[in-house]
């Protein structure tokens, strides 16, 4: 996960870098609004840490307000030493995902980041019947809780998903992740042009299918044979676009 900080205090920016990287996240910092606007499209952060008072005419509040106008669904955390009620009132109108008063400790920052991503998930999926689960967040990517950090996994990386008890096992070409979420919830949030349920316990990404074994009722993905149920076979065959 990538975090961009806009902070004009070099010493505090260095402290933030140490704290963020200790949590296992990628970090980049700029000290003014102009540079923030320049780096945002190329760096494509997953979360913003904004100081309110910055070098130049534009403040962290101005950056946040511009993001709102541009309808950028980017979680924002204000990190500031300023305690003025009027400033806080203006910040509240922007609906930041967290507001931290300096100095910041590692635990406080970690909690704020997780809370920001949780609130962002709730906002994106507010029309879904179920809320955010503690281990997984989905926008165009998953943020899966692994140990003490949230790890970003793009949807395209997911080859297949299995379910055991109340846990999902999300398989990519290089790693397996475990998250608490039901099969129905994850299906509702995956793009249907890529993902297909083939069994009560399996969801596959059709782009990763390596072979189809109809006599065994199996599909092979990443060298693993995955069973498909008879009831799902017609839809599967239709999606495979068979020739000959």
Q: Which domains, from first to last, does the chain contain?
A: 2-124 (3.40.50.2300), 136-240 (2.40.50.1020)
Distance in angstroms between the alpha carbons of the first and the last residue of the chain: 45
pLDDT in tens, 144-192: 877 777 788 888 899 999 988 778 999 999 999 988 888 877 887 788 8
pTM (two decimals): 0.58
Q: In which band, very low, low, confident or very high, does the pLDDT at 236 lie, cut at 50, 70 and 90?
A: confident
Residue-wise over 90-119: b if at least 16 C-beta within 10 A, else e?
ebeebebbbebeeebeeeebbebbbebbbb
Residue with tokens 């290089």: 174
Maximum distance among all Cα pairs of the chain, rounded to whole angstroms: 73
Q: Give the pLDDT mean for 29-36.
A: 90
């Amino acid at each position: 996960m990538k975090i961009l900080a806009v902070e004009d205090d070099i010493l505090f920016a260095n402290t933030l870098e140490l704290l963020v990287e200790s949590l296992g996240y990628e970090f980049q910092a700029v000290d003014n609004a102009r540079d923030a606007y320049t780096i945002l499209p190329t760096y494509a952060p997953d979360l913003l840490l904004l100081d309110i008072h910055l070098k130049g005419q534009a403040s962290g509040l101005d950056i946040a307000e511009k993001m709102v106008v541009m309808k950028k669904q980017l979680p924002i955390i204000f990190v500031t030493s300023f305690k003025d009620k009027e400033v806080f009132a203006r910040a509240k109108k922007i609906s930041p995902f967290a507001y931290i008063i300096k100095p910041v400790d590692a635990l406080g920052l970690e909690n704020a980041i997780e809370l920001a991503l949780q609130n962002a998930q709730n906002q994106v999926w507010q029309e879904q019947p179920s809320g955010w689960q503690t281990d997984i967040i989905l926008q165009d990517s998953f943020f899966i809780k692994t140990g003490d950090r949230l790890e970003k996994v793009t949807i395209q990386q997911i080859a297949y998903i299995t379910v055991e008890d109340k846990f999902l096992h999300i398989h990519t070409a290089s790693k397996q992740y475990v998250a608490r979420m039901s099969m129905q919830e994850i299906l509702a949030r995956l793009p249907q042009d890529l993902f297909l349920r083939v069994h009560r316990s399996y969801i596959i990404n059709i782009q990763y299918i390596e072979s189809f074994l109809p006599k065994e009722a199996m599909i092979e993905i990443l060298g693993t044979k995955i069973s498909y149920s008879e009831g799902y076979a017609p839809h599967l065959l239709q999606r495979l676009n068979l020739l000959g």
